[in-house]
Amino acid sequence: MKQYSLILFLSSVIVFFTTTTATTTLPASLSSNATFPALIVFGDSYADTGNNNYLNTIAKCNYPPYGINFEGGTPTGRFGDGEVFPDLIAEGLGIKRTIPASLDPSLTPQDLLTGVSFASGGSGFNPRISQSRSALSMTDQLKQLKEYIEKLKQNGGEETTDYIISKSLFLVVAGSNDVPSATAGNFQLDVPSYTSSVIKLASDFMKKLYGYGARRILVVGVPPFGCLPSQRTLGGGLQRDCDQNYNDASKLFNSKLSSMLDSLSETLQDAKLVYFDYYNSLLEIIQSPQNYGFEVADRGCCGTGLIEVLWLCNKYTASVCPNISAYLFWDGYHPSERANRIIISKLLDKSIPMLL
């Protein structure tokens, strides 16, 4: 019976990819038969596809004008004007059009087979960060993974579940709330000490993922925080320059994160842990926006673009810029869908082949 379930699953995967690859162009660096059955996601607002809609938290964006470029112009709880990292990666790999939130009550068994996002806006590797924002901590997200695995077993059996978990792509986009807290001195530690403590928590998280069966793990570094519109306003002076202290903290964290992942790749049997350099990928666009067709790179599209994010970006007090595609950032913290597409195209070309 288990064998029969696995055959049925593999048949459905073949049919799925046959029907989707006709409309999805894979990067040239990917071979046509290199596929992942599912995308399973963890992290913060850069990867949350709507989980915070179902939490008692102020970190929500399930209202206009968020989602203005999403299907039907619908706000879904994604932190941007349209699709976010998990959606674009899943689309680029031919897995499915968008990645649903794990807490969405309308999830179907088919949704589970091809992956979900456990990410929660406001989360961080440090559980105190998540607690302060009433977000799902990374530990909470691991608990949800355990429940997800049990649901897979109920729907398809042990062999199907083992196949999905061992062959799927696990995406981790976290740290974006930890690093600013380090720079602000919220935990009475200097930046080097605090970033090292967060990296230890991140390492523990990766090991637990491995313990659940994950073997291909893609980890996205943190962006150049000092160049985000809101931080330019808060710490960039009258000229709103990039805040170098925040950028230095980001670079330090990313350096430690990359080294940690390299070390784990050597010690965890049959595992591949790959780091994606989000910092320089985004900074390159910020420094040369015209090369990518952007006209505005220091302000967001929502409201004045100086500080608006979350509830400050709303249809009552914040107007939307007339040409969203000209703006690198949607709000004071999150890039626009168009910018995300450019960044994810780099990720698909550079990082995915290292996981195959």
Catalytic residues: 45, 331, 334
Q: Find, among 205, 212, 214, the residue nearest to 257 by Cα.
A: 205
The secondary structure of 82-94 as a DSSP string is: S--HHHHHHHHTT
Residue 337 makes CB contacts below 8 A (sequence gap 6+) with: 69, 80, 81, 82, 83, 84, 330
Residue 348 makes CB contacts below 8 A (sequence gap 6+) with: 26, 27, 29, 30, 89, 92, 93
Burial 145-168 (b: 16+ CB within 10 A, else e): beebbeebeebbbebbbbbbbeeb
Neighbour count for residue 17 (Cβ, 10 Å): 18
Helix ranges restricted to H, the chain: 2-20, 85-92, 109-113, 127-132, 138-156, 158-167, 178-183, 191-211, 229-235, 244-267, 278-287, 337-350
Residue 102 makes CB contacts below 8 A (sequence gap 6+) with: 51, 116, 117, 118, 144, 148
H helices, E strands: number in the chain: 12, 6
CA 136 and chain centroid, separation? 14
CA 102 and chain centroid, separation? 14
CA 308 and chain centroid, separation? 21
Q: In sequence order, what are the beta bridge partners of 42?
A: 172
Q: Are residues 29 and 282 in contact, defined by beta-carbon separation less than 8 angstroms?
A: no
* Bond from prior residue into 64 cis (ω within 30 degrees of 0): no
Tokens of 258: 């990359």
d(CA 59, CA 334): 13
